[in-house]
């Protein structure tokens, strides 16, 4: 087994990864975050911002809509005039800030995200002008430029129309200085040509020297991603947290080292990553799924595999996480891996995933008593669907595992309720 070494993953790579996971929610926003990062970086360089600001502008741009947890909200935000429609753009900006603010490597980027929909003239929440970071104004303008220019038939001939539309909001929606920097760039053909490629952002990565994350930081960031995955539905709002906590302890009981057990927790946080591509109405459906809906559900571990494959040095984590619906007898999905080809780490998450799911309320059934859930697990192991030795360890240490699972999920649910309340009542804004 390859252990994760300190400083094994680039923060830039993780930001690109998080941006790509956001794209899974809808093809309508594909590459939006990367394009905004490219535009914002160009404007920030034109404004002669320092290297630290440039780095944080890139990361904030890649993650600026990470708080838009629902498909409907993301699509509505693709309107140029962002105060039109039913969605309040400040909700997702505040949500993004709250998700990232306590992760120190992204704390400054979180501040930029928080204000990236505030108008220069102070409209909306009353923030504006120099009371918010200049970088937020840059990201706001870059976001709206992409909205105006992302049509498939966009060509250089359309650039004057985009520029004119932006100029109409100079001094109201947008900072005059930021607009002026953009108009200088808009005269240069390369600025528009590069929107069809992300090369400039990739080159910028090499010159900025983005920090690298150790295992503890990866766990902290993956815990944030776990919230993004789970918070889309009240019924799954604590699922990945429960799986992560139970899997970490189960790994220790099965002989894994302390570091390997923490790697197992990381895999538990990320195992349902692909569910970001599953519409909430399927996740929350109170009746049986149609065959077509079941196909969508069955795709999620494949998407987990594909997305985690983007990150160098997480190969073991990827296999443990993405094979959690495989079965010992080879009857699982999507790869039909079984027998000795199915890693113990994958078998552990397969068991804890079922155990945690059975003990949660779902739209189509109430939670089972924990002991009843163990009985179901034993029946599944008897038919060689899940690993009987892993089930036996869970059964023999039932009170401990269930207590860990319950405590972690209770804390996660409290956080979910606080998060939801603060976003939609504005408490986190008034408290700062």
Q: For residue 70, is pLDDT > 60?
A: no
- The reply to whether 200 and 226 lie within a common domain is no
Average pLDDT rounded to a whole number, residues 55-68: 90
Let me know if residue 56 belongs to a domain. yes
Asked which of 212, 228, 255 is the last residue of a domain, the reply is: 212
Average pLDDT rounded to a whole number, residues 284-302: 90
222 versus 203: the higher-pLDDT residue is: 222
| CB atoms near residue 107 (< 10 Å) | 13
Q: For residue 371, is pLDDT > 60?
A: yes
Let me know if residue 4 belongs to a domain. no
Cα–chain center distance at 109: 15
- The reply to whether 106 and 246 lie within a common domain is no
Buried b (16+ CB within 10 A) or exposed e, 169-201: bbeebbbeebbebbeebbeeeebbebbeeeebb
Q: For residue 183, is pLDDT > 70?
A: yes
- The reply to whether 205 and 273 lie within a common domain is no
Let me know if residue 2 belongs to a domain. no
Any idea which residue has 């930001």 for tokens?
A: 15
Asked which of 186, 212, 238 is the last residue of a domain, the reply is: 212
Tokens of 168: 């109409």
Let me know if residue 401 belongs to a domain. yes
- The reply to whether 322 and 249 lie within a common domain is yes
- pLDDT grade, residue 85 (50/70/90)? very low
Average pLDDT rounded to a whole number, residues 384-395: 95
Let me know if residue 145 belongs to a domain. yes
Q: For residue 408, is pLDDT > 60?
A: yes
The pLDDT score that the predictor gives to residue 235 is 59
- The reply to whether 191 and 270 lie within a common domain is no
Give the lowest-confidence range in 8-22, 227-241, 316-330, 417-431: 417-431
Let me know if residue 179 belongs to a domain. yes
The pLDDT score that the predictor gives to residue 431 is 44
The pLDDT score that the predictor gives to residue 84 is 40
Let me know if residue 429 belongs to a domain. no
- pLDDT grade, residue 425 (50/70/90)? low
- The reply to whether 190 and 76 lie within a common domain is yes
Residues 153 and 133: their CA atoms lie apart, in Å, by 34
The pLDDT score that the predictor gives to residue 432 is 45
Q: For residue 343, is pLDDT > 50?
A: yes
Per residue in 208-252, pLDDT (tens digit) is 667 888 889 999 998 888 877 776 666 566 889 999 999 999 999
Residues 222 and 230: their CA atoms lie apart, in Å, by 12
The pLDDT score that the predictor gives to residue 312 is 85
Q: For residue 77, is pLDDT > 60?
A: no
Here the contacts of 42-46 (C-beta below 8 Å, separation 24 or greater) are 42/185, 42/191, 42/194, 42/200, 43/138, 43/141, 43/142, 43/178, 43/181, 43/182, 43/185, 44/135, 44/138, 46/181, 46/182, 46/184, 46/185
Q: Could you tell me if 264 and 348 are in contact, meaning their C-beta atoms sit under 8 angstroms apart?
A: yes
Average pLDDT rounded to a whole number, residues 101-122: 94
The pLDDT score that the predictor gives to residue 79 is 54
Per residue in 140-156, pLDDT (tens digit) is 999 999 988 876 566 78
Average pLDDT rounded to a whole number, residues 34-46: 93
The pLDDT score that the predictor gives to residue 339 is 92
104 versus 365: the higher-pLDDT residue is: 104
For 81, 253, 388, 394, 397, the CA distances from 375, given in Å and listed in that order, are 55, 20, 12, 11, 14
Count of domains for the chain: 2
- The reply to whether 361 and 233 lie within a common domain is yes
- The reply to whether 226 and 281 lie within a common domain is yes
Quote the domain boundaries for residue 223. Answer: 217-424
Q: For residue 337, is pLDDT > 90?
A: yes
Q: For residue 427, is pLDDT > 60?
A: no
Asked which of 212, 247, 281 is the last residue of a domain, the reply is: 212
The pLDDT score that the predictor gives to residue 97 is 92
- The reply to whether 239 and 362 lie within a common domain is yes
- The reply to whether 190 and 282 lie within a common domain is no
Q: Give every CB contact of residue 67 below 8 A, 6+ residues apart in sequence.
A: 91, 92, 93, 94, 95, 96, 97, 98, 99, 113, 423
- The reply to whether 204 and 223 lie within a common domain is no
Residues 378 and 376: their CA atoms lie apart, in Å, by 5
The pLDDT score that the predictor gives to residue 113 is 95
- The reply to whether 208 and 246 lie within a common domain is no
CATH number at residue 121: 1.10.3210.10
Average pLDDT rounded to a whole number, residues 153-162: 83
The pLDDT score that the predictor gives to residue 115 is 94
Let me know if residue 299 belongs to a domain. yes
Q: For residue 325, is pLDDT > 90?
A: yes
SS3 for the chain is: CCCCCCCCEEHHHHHHHHHHHHHCCCHHHCCHHHHHHHHHHHHHHHCCCCHHHHHHHHHHHHCCCCCCCCHHHHHHCCCCCCCCCCCCHHHHHHHHHHHHCCCHHHHHHHHHHHCCCCCCCCCCCCCCHHHCCHHHHHHHHHHHHHHHHCCCCCCHHHHHHHHHHHHCCECCCECHHHHHHHHHHHCCHHHHHHHHCCHHHHHHHHHHCCCEECHHHHHHHHHHHHHHHHCCCHHHCCHHHHHHHHHHHHHHHCCCCHHHHHHHHHHHHHCCHHHHHCCHHHHCCCCCCCHHHHHHHHCHHHHHHHHHCCCCCCHHHHHHHHCCCCCCCCCCCCCCCCHHHCCHHHHHHHHHHHHHHHCCCECCECCCCHHHHHHHHHHHHHCCCCCHHHHHHHHHCHHHHHHHHHHHHHHHHHHHHHHHHHHHHCHHHHCC
- pLDDT grade, residue 426 (50/70/90)? low
Average pLDDT rounded to a whole number, residues 49-61: 94
């Amino acid at each position: 087994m390859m252990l994760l070494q300190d400083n094994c993953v680039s923060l830039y790579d993780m930001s690109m990864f998080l941006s790509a996971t956001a794209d899974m929610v809808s093809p309508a926003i594909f590459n939006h975050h990367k394009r905004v990062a490219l535009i914002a970086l160009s404007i920030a360089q034109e404004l002669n911002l320092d290297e630290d600001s440039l780095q944080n502008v890139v990361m904030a741009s890649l993650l600026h809509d990470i708080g838009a947890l629902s498909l409907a909200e993301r699509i509505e935000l693709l309107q140029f005039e962002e105060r039109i429609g039913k969605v309040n753009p400040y909700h997702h900006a505040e949500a993004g800030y709250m998700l990232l603010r306590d992760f120190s490597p992204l704390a400054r980027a979180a501040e930029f995200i928080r204000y990236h929909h505030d108008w220069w003239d102070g409209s909306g929440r009353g923030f504006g002008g120099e009371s918010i970071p200049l970088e937020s104004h840059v990201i706001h303008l870059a976001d709206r430029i992409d909205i105006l220019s992302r049509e498939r038939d966009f060509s250089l001939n359309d650039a004057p129309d985009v520029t004119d539309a932006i100029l109409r909001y100079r001094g109201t929606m947008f900072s005059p200085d930021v607009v002026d920097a953009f108009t200088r760039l808009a005269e240069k053909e390369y600025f528009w040509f590069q929107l069809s490629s992300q090369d400039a952002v990739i080159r910028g990565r090499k010159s900025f020297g983005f920090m690298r994350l150790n295992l503890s930081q990866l766990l902290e960031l993956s815990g944030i991603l776990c919230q993004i995955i789970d918070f889309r539905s009240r019924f799954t709002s604590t699922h990945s947290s429960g799986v992560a906590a139970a899997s970490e302890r189960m790994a220790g009981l099965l002989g894994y080292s302390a570091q390997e057990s923490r790697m197992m927790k990381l895999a538990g946080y990320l195992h349902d990553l692909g569910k970001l591509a599953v519409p909430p109405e399927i996740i929350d459906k109170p009746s049986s799924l149609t065959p077509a809906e079941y196909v969508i559900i069955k795709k999620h571990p494949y998407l987990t595999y594909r997305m985690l494959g983007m990150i160098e040095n997480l190969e073991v984590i990827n296999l443990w996480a993405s094979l959690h619906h495989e079965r010992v007898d080879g009857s699982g999905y999507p790869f039909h891996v079984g027998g000795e080809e199915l890693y113990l780490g994958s078998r552990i998450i397969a068991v804890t995933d079922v155990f945690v799911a059975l003990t949660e309320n779902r739209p189509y059934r109430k939670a089972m008593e924990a002991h009843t859930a163990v009985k179901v697990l034993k029946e599944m192991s008897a038919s060689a669907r899940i690993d009987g030795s892993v089930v036996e360890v869970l059964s023999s240490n039932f009170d401990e595992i269930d207590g860990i699972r319950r405590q972690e999920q209770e804390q996660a649910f409290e956080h979910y309720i606080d998060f939801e309340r603060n976003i939609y009542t504005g408490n986190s804004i008034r408290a700062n």
